[in-house]
Structure 1
Amino acid sequence: MPTLLHIDSSIWPVDSSVSRDVAASFRKEWESRHPDGTVIHRDLTADPVPHLDGPTYTAGADHALRGRLIRELEQADAVLIGAPMYNFTIPSTLKAWLDHVILMGRTTGVENSPVAGTPTVVVASRGGGYGPGTPRESFEFVTTYLAKALGPGSLDLDVHFIVPELTMAPVVPAMAGLIDLHEASMAKAHAEAVAKAGLLAARAA
């Protein structure tokens, strides 16, 4: 049966985390299509992986934890990643996970890598607006970084982004005029998550 690898990195619980909430819509739809499938869930806030150190780097996949994280990625039929924007980029816990699973000669830098082409959905939530043409477009280092770290030239995953934005509009008075845009962005993100889950679940059947 298909395996979904689900990575969460928000510091907040699902009831106050947009990335967790939208990812939950994806996972619910995936599990409805594959009730007997396997979901490997890594909550990098509840159970963070340590930052890469010298001995772990040198050991590569022979290191117990690093080897386990790599095998989880290798066995996945699809990957779901919650990646909220913190200070213009990804949480440090997610970067630590990436440092473990990106291994030259195993998951990158090798022909016919076992992870190449794996469909990957990233829920990249952000408090403001960073899209093309916005004043802060150049400050966006979540999708720009992850497209490189996960995509061609690195892990070669088949990466798709879902981007709910303006998430701070309901709680920041100065953003009150953007609440309608935020709500529309949320509705679109949930719809995209359900649709993408259905598509990828069908491909993995």
Structure 2
Amino acid sequence: MATLLHIDSSALTEGSVSREVSATFREAWEAENPGGTVIYRDLAAAPVPHLSADGITAGFLAPDQRTPEQQAAFALRDELIGELERADAVVIGTPMYNFTIPSSLKAWLDQVILMGRSAGEQPSAAGTPVTVVSARGGSYGPGTPRESFEFVTTYLEKVFTGMLGMDVDFIVPEFTLARVNPAMAQFAETADASKARAHEDADRRARELSAKVAA
């Protein structure tokens, strides 16, 4: 049966567009895979700890050479990497915070990137499709004044393809603050259209990936 790894990283539980659109992806995936498994991690509700010295050094030692602290730290890394390896597809909801990803998502990435296993010459989850819902309050696309300030998709593309060997695709709802920030009121309809398109893209992407997994 197909397995989906679903990760949310927005600090907001209400009004989060990245959560809403990642949920649309999950709903479509579950509709196509009624007997499948969903592994869900809410990195805001249950944060993954930052990578520690014990977690780093344990990766270079044989199991019988690790201290109890190193064993505990590596056990978490092994659990998180295992979830990534079991997934037939991954969907990640992330907002843009100060031009980049939330620290909670960075902490998860640092835990799952392990040279010689998930990263390196033969990444253990190579080829697995990743759909990232990258929501942002304004617009940072090509040709916009703040294009050069965008470090969400640019960073995640390099991490997922260059380090983990995965196949990453982005869904980008923009102007998410237009309905709550009076200064952005002129972009409200643009925001609505972008959000609607993101939901459509998430639904379509989930169904397309489900079909590939089933083939």
TM-score category of the 2 structures, normalised to the smaller one: over 0.9
- Identity among equivalent positions (%) equals 62
Q: 2:181 and 2:104 mapped to 1: Cα distance?
A: 26
Runs of 4+ in 1 over 4 A off after TM superposition: none
CA RMSD between the two structures: 1.1
Q: Note if 1:84 corresponds to 2:83.
A: no
Runs (5+) with no aligned partner, structure 1: none
Runs (5+) with no aligned partner, structure 2: 64-70
Alignment match of 2:127 (pick from 98, 117, 122): 117
Q: How does 1:33-44 map to 2 (within 5 A)?
A: 33-44=32-43
Q: Note if 1:55 corresponds to 2:64.
A: no
Q: Note if 1:193 corresponds to 2:202.
A: yes
- Once the two structures are superposed, residues 36-77 of structure 1 have per-residue CA deviations (whole angstroms, 9 ceiling, x without a partner) of 100000000011010001111111396111100000000100
Q: Note if 1:135 corresponds to 2:145.
A: yes
Secondary structure of 1:146's aligned partner: helix
Q: Note if 1:145 corresponds to 2:155.
A: yes
Letter of the 1:191 counterpart: E
Question: Aligned pairs, how many?
Answer: 202
Q: 1:134 and 1:173 mapped to 2: Cα distance?
A: 20
- Once the two structures are superposed, residues 160-188 of structure 1 have per-residue CA deviations (whole angstroms, 9 ceiling, x without a partner) of 00000100000111110101110110011
Q: Note if 1:71 corresponds to 2:82.
A: yes
Q: TM-score, with normalisation over the residues of structure 1?
A: 0.96
Higher radius of gyration, 1 or 2: 2
Q: Note if 1:94 corresponds to 2:105.
A: yes
Letter of the 1:67 counterpart: D
Q: 1:182 and 1:194 mapped to 2: Cα distance?
A: 18
Q: 1:59 and 1:117 mapped to 2: Cα distance?
A: 27
Q: Which moved more, 1:164-173 or 1:51-60?
A: 51-60
Letter of the 2:30 counterpart: E
Letter of the 2:126 counterpart: A
